[in-house]
Amino acid sequence: MTAQYTGVASLAADRSGAAFKSPAPAPGVFARVAQRFHWLFNNPVFQNHRFEWLRIRDKQLPFAGEFIDRDEERQGQKRDREVVDGEAWRACLVFAGGMMSGATPQSIQWFRLQFAEEALQGDWAARTGLDARLELLNRVLNGSNFYNAAHGAFMELPFGQAPVGIFEDAFRGVRFENYPIGCYAYEVDHTGLPDCFAVRRRMTGYQLCRRFGMESLPQSVQNAVKEGGGLRQAFDVCWLVEKNADYDLNKLNSSFQEWASYYWLDKSGEGFIRVSGFRDFPVAIARYQVIGSQAYGLGPGWYADSDARMLYRVLEDAFRNAQLFVDPPLQVPADMEVDFTPGGVSRNRAQGMKAEALFALAPVFQQLFEIGEGVRDKINRAYNVNLFTMLDQEALQSGQRTAYELSLRNQERLQQLGPVTERLNTEFLSAIIERVYAILERHGVFPPFAGIDGGYQGSEIAIEYTGPLAQAQKMSGLDNMNMLLSMVANMAQFMPETFKLIDAEAFMRTFAGKTGVDAKLLKSPEAYREELEALAEQAQAAAAAEREARVAPAVESYTNAARNVMEMGQNDNPALAALLTATGGGADE
């Protein structure tokens, strides 16, 4: 991300997020794009993942996902009919809330901007200028639907990945769009980052008119809408964004933007309904864990799959055992009338025979439920519930642990998410921040750096994350600084000169930087040095005044004594007058 000043047309030009409208593409482009789109959804790798996603959705997370071919008939119906126990769904809620509060908490500053060049990091003017831009960036994020979209992405992350679209918006500046599992597919380039993204979603004729305009729709759809029935009719809309082979930085037309965007109606065969482009890849994809160079990731839902199926079997057996024990199968005489109501009377005409259980049944459902509790704990651990709840019941009940020990334990737990946090920061959150920053900068939202006249133009800007999860990874560095300060304080009791080893200003600025404190909360180095010089001058003046206050009484006493002696010599004291004359004590020559 680089700081550049390139203002362009109004933000209200196109709510779709496309940079500019494009003329009709060359013949053959539609066939190629449609072919690539369908390959993304039909290749064996995607189909294998889709099978697992469906199982995770049906057995663990029934309210997530969007599989058009499976969910159309189930709209408005409960999706959890195949779920015996909702432990995985409850764990997903805790996971999403924990990731939200740990990575992107709206209540605190969870990221900051700084220059990548080390020489500029200590530049107070540069630091305050970036903080001003950071404030505007946060204002835009808070005014948009970013935090709702982020929570939606974390709810989908147990499937392994969760994409979010970032688009320009005339009213909010930017808007974000979630893509549920099952409706999207993508490819990655040689670096492992997504470079092609495809979405298939269902929209009504009314929604199509609102999104693309009546004139952009195929003639058959326009006719259906004009007749009235097409407004509620559902259509499958396809969207593909890919690297543009005709990219030309010097041309503004969307045909030459870095990323090409195509919309069309599936199976219509009537061409594109919109062709446009983006300067930045408009989709950020959060991935939990990626094996090798694979495109799709693995998440908590994959790790809890076996335990969720085992819990299903355990509970099924427990319920069956409980039901058989409470209401066992009976063997009764053929001519016996059995009354199964409580307190009922059964009449037995056969002597010596009675109704009894067909076989002896041991009540083991309690043991099965205990096994189920162990399986639930494994599911919660797969979703990192134990990491996000922080203070577990054992810690709350124990009076032996100090607050410091509990803090260390919580820090250790959060550090277990270090690899996941690092991937989310670099692939997901950085992509969002960089795209929003670029949109705001292109539209001239950011003020220039005060008094610099573009001196920082072209300098690379880095993103530093300061949320609770990111801070947990940095705490080891802060602990080392605290340990050093504590050691110096202890040594200074015997060797006071030890304090001179620490540069107090550098120490505090480094500590503030690691904790993500805004630069405006600290004085600039120049102002701080001026204040130190003023304090030194005040101290010197105070010391001089103190010395003068100590010497003045002695001088006054000496002066008074000398005056008395002179007066005595002048009052007819021959001996004293002779002494004063001999020593030059005041006699005129």
Q: Give residues with Cβ within 8 angstroms of 40, minimum separation 6.
A: 46, 185, 186, 187, 196, 198
Q: pTM here?
A: 0.75
Q: DSSP letter for 493, please.
A: T
Mean pLDDT, rounded, for 131-139:
91
Residue 433, Cβ neighbours under 10 Å: how many?
Answer: 22
Q: DSSP strand E in 216-305: where?
A: 234-243, 259-265, 272-278, 283-287
Helical H segments across 157-227, by residue range: 205-212, 219-227
Please write the tens of the pLDDT for every residue from 343-386.
Answer: 666 767 666 667 776 666 677 777 878 888 888 899 999 998 88
Between CA 41 and CA 148 the distance in angstroms is 28
Cβ(40)–Cβ(198) under 8 Å? Answer: yes
* pLDDT score of 399: 52
Please write the tens of the pLDDT for every residue from 16-42.
Answer: 444 344 456 666 889 999 999 999 999
Is the model more confident about 399 or about 548?
A: 548
- Stated as kind and residue range, the H or E segment containing 202 is strand 194-204
Is the predicted pLDDT of residue 259 greater than 90, yes or no?
yes
Strands 272-278 and 283-287: unpaired
Conformation bin of residue 479: beta by default, left when phi > 0, alpha when psi is -120 to 50: alpha
State the number of CA atoms in the 13 A half-sphere of 248 facing the CB: 8
Cβ(427)–Cβ(295) under 8 Å? Answer: no
Is the predicted pLDDT of residue 322 greater than 90, yes or no?
no
Lay out the sheet containing 184-188: strands in order across: 184-188, 194-204, 234-243, 259-265, 272-278
Tokens representing residue 517 in the block: 């404190």
Q: Give residues with Cβ within 8 angstroms of 208, minimum separation 6.
A: 217, 221, 235, 237, 273
| Reported confidence tier of residue 85, pLDDT bands at 50, 70, 90 | confident
Q: DSSP letter for 6, please.
A: -
| Reported confidence tier of residue 76, pLDDT bands at 50, 70, 90 | low
Between CA 34 and CA 20 the distance in angstroms is 22
Strands 272-278 and 259-265: antiparallel
* pLDDT score of 328: 78
**Can you tell me whether residue 37 is helix, strand or coil?**
helix
**Can you tell me whether residue 274 is helix, strand or coil?**
strand
* pLDDT score of 573: 60
| Reported confidence tier of residue 414, pLDDT bands at 50, 70, 90 | low
Is the model more confident about 76 or about 32?
A: 32
* pLDDT score of 470: 79
**What's the angle, vertex CA 101, arms to CA 100 and CA 105, rounded to 5?**
90
Conformation bin of residue 292: beta by default, left when phi > 0, alpha when psi is -120 to 50: left
Please write the tens of the pLDDT for every residue from 194-242.
Answer: 999 999 999 989 999 988 988 888 888 888 888 877 788 889 999 999 9
* pLDDT score of 60: 92
Please write the tens of the pLDDT for every residue from 262-286.
Answer: 999 988 777 899 999 999 999 999 9
